[in-house]
Amino acid sequence: MAVPLLDLQPQLAPLREEILAAVTEVIDSCGYIMGPKVESLERAVADYCGVEHAIGVASGTDALLVALMALDIGPGDLVLTTPYSFFATMGSILRLGARPLFVDIDPVTFNIDPLAARELLESRPELAARVKAIIPVHLYGQCAEMAPLLELAQRFGLAVVEDAAQAIGALYPPARAADKAGWRRAGSMGDAGCFSFFPSKNLGGIGDGGMVICRDAALAEKIRILRVHGSAPKYHHGLVGGNFRLDPIQAVVLEIKLGHLPAWHAARRNNAEGYRRLFADSGLLEDGSVLLPAAVYREQAQAAGIDDYHIYNQFVPRFARRDQLLAHLRRVEIGCEVYYPVPLHKQGCVAELGYHEQVFPEAERAAGETLALPIYPELTEEMQREVVAAISSFYRGERRGG
């Protein structure tokens, strides 16, 4: 049985008529730029995330870019971040003439290592003086360890822009995890949080889209101005912005889907638990062929009655002989993907900046060992069994010398 990495058709089917009606309403209105539909989605996302302000933009990349612009990040500035992320994390920094300052990742979560960040800032005061912001990435749907990062930011006077492109709805525990009210949504903890609504995300549109959330009214207003070419009022440009607008067709689709997001998160977690059971039964965990991803806040969340401790935008184990396994799974039509095969500091576009000479062993090891498996909400138990059986057959074949 072929199993796709992602299939959007089962999600679309029950929502199709509602989506068509909402899109038709936008078309018939002839109001195709911004407007009340975008404002309605912004209010809904702000309420969901527990913040005062949400600003719809054209993509997750634009969300990062405009947030950094609003915080006056520019030439000569350094932005502390992870080398193990989608390119937009670094690209948004470079486009403003700033430079990324990388620290390695935590090998358990794949997120930025707060201890490495602290050690770098404390040991290199000449660099710390140039750092203006931190971009933690909540990779694969699990929040980075935010408490020590926020403490560092306060200590060194840094802005915090959360790259929550893969993590809308994920929760981070308070110091007293049993305090259910103290858990906070990804994107709501720093100065700004950035989401992507790319179709493959847990909350995905029918094209590109993104959003910035924040608590500060002045910052929100500046972002709103920047997304329309820095115009306020119209045709008066006190700032140089860009065309970062979210269109109302995306907004109506996303608002319909937003109501289903908790159920989709729950289905993804259920699928993750299904994989854990199936891999445990396979024997592959015992011999070290497979190392499953950790849900590091799970016990705290369950003690507090919290669900969204991990939203599993991806399910990414480590595998022995990953590349050979990847080729095998593709031959037997099991969907899989490497996120990400080339860490950011090894990308060709920064070769002349000297990043290639830097070494981040955990990021490089993750790039060589990890492989994302299907995890979308409509994935069936039978399909999961097929995925694990295909992986088991690869390792059994190796042991037989096949």
Domain end point (choices 221, 239, 258): 258
Residues 248 and 278 in one domain: no
- Secondary structure class of 61 (helix, strand, coil): helix
pLDDT of residue 95: 97
Would you state the pLDDT for residue 91? 98
Q: Does 300 lie in the same domain as 236?
A: no
pLDDT band at 358 (very low <50, low <70, confident <90, very high): confident
Reported confidence tier of residue 401, pLDDT bands at 50, 70, 90 = low
pLDDT of residue 126: 94
CA atoms within 13 A on the CB side of 18: 13
Which pLDDT value is given to residue 271? 98
| Structural domain count of the chain | 2
Give the per-residue pLDDT at 180.
Answer: 74
pLDDT in tens, 151-163: 999 999 999 999 9
Same domain, 307 and 220: no
- Segment 314-337 shows an average pLDDT of 97
60/179 same-domain check: yes
pTM (two decimals):
0.95
Model confidence pLDDT, tens digit, residues 294-308: 999 999 999 999 999
What angle is formed at CA 332 by the lines to CA 330 and CA 334, rounded to 5 degrees? 60
Q: Would you state the pLDDT for residue 400?
A: 61
pLDDT of 178 reads 64
CA distances from 129 to 116, 120, 156, 165 (A): 17, 12, 8, 28
Secondary element (H or E) of residue 94: helix 87-95
192 inside domain: yes
Is the pLDDT reported for residue 402 higher than 60?
Answer: no
| pLDDT value at residue 181 | 80
- 28-61 pLDDT, tens digit per residue, is 999 999 999 999 999 999 999 999 999 999 999 9
pLDDT exceeds cutoff 90 at 221: yes
> Region 233-256: what's the mean pLDDT?
96
Residue 367 pLDDT more than 90? Answer: yes
- The residue among 258, 284, 317 that closes a domain is 258
CA dist 2 → 7, 373, 382, 387 (Å): 12, 13, 11, 9
In a domain? residue 1: no
pLDDT at 357: 87
Asked whether the predicted pLDDT for residue 118 surpasses 90, the reply is yes
Predicted local confidence at residue 337, as pLDDT: 97
- Find the DSSP H helices in 137-198: 146-156
| Predicted pLDDT at 175 | 78
For 223, the domain range is: 9-258
Domain boundary among 258, 276, 311: 258
Classify residue 74: in a domain, yes or no. Answer: yes
CATH at 51: 3.40.640.10
Any domain includes 3: no
- Mean pLDDT score across all residues of the chain: 96
pLDDT > 90: percent of the chain:
93
- Residue 282 and residue 387 in one domain: yes
**Same-domain pairing of 27 and 112:** yes
Mean predicted confidence (pLDDT) in 325-342: 97
CA angle 102, 62, 195 (to 5 degrees): 80
Query: Which stretches of 50-86 are DSSP H helices?
Result: 60-70
CATH number at 293 reads: 3.90.1150.10
